[in-house]
Structure 1
Amino acid sequence: MDLLHIIYEMIELRSFSNLWYWIALAVLWSTASHWILGVPYDMVQRAQRNGGQAERDLEDVVRVYVNRLLYIAEVSGPWIVALSCFVMSGLAVLGFVFLLEIAQAVFLLVFPMAVVGLISLLTARRIWQEGATGVALRKRLAFCRLYVQLVGVISIVVTAFWGMYQNLNIGAF
């Protein structure tokens, strides 16, 4: 075996038959559903159970992250959207037109996260407009988490079916 063949075997760009891809997918969605607007969801639950200082801490942390997210969207939002669309359309073309499996795999990770980003931005804007605190704030964060989990479930199912199709179609076994 030559060195190039050994390196190719170690890197293995066949993503859907690679265990690390599926581990990364699980970690990605686990993390995305736990950190809502940058706030760990256990803070929301603690504020609901204990109230008082835990509630004030939650409101402070959410205020900081909402202001940060809205500032980033205001200052560089169009550039982020343009760059994201460029990258995702490039991945889609490389993956689904030119049938490059690594591009398909990355697209199936990145596109749903763009949807999560949009959900987070809309939730942050709504929290800021309403000046939500207390129960209303916790409700907004819970609905945001529910929507993120819904996108995650759909993404995992689509990715699993597409990965099975690719593995059976190419004959990875």
Structure 2
Amino acid sequence: MANVTFQQEPVTLVGNEVKVGDEAPSFKVLSNDLEEVTLTDYKEKVKLISVVPSIDTGVCAEQTKRFNEEADQIENVKVLTVSMDLPFAQKRWVNQHDIKKLDTLSDHRDAHFGKNYGVLIEELRLLARSIFVVDSNNIVTYVEYVKEVSNHPDYDAALEAARQAK
């Protein structure tokens, strides 16, 4: 399992680590309109899944804004941001920051995404910062579990992986 820290303290990630070449695990999350969303809702698209602990914090906000800026520059790619934030908080944040090119999804109800992707921080019930690129056949082509949750992911590597995925 990925060794991850939060504020330099080790944390326990619940679930199985996802690796390149794996079939992407299914998930059930909520849209900002409280509709259930699953992986199959994005079939035939490449998915860049940006996972953040809380969209209302500095690094998470920057990460979401960066992927929003890049989202329409990559053909056939849908960018998803997943966090444990309530859908109402995500919707408010999205409207405040004019985010229109990606979907924000809430895992607060069952932590289904967090458990299936091995990013649920047991001690905090937050998701560990991570990036997954899933091709149009739902095969994982890129994974980054950010070692220190408060650090930024490797944006360039994730974006390049999304460009290369089919």
TM-score range, shorter chain: under 0.3
Q: Which has the higher helix share?
A: 1
Q: Which has the higher strand share?
A: 2
- When Rg is computed on C-alpha atoms for both structures, the one with the higher figure is 1
TM-score, normalised relative to structure 1: 0.22
Which structure's relative contact order is higher, taking Cα pairs within 8 Å and 6+ residues apart?
A: 2
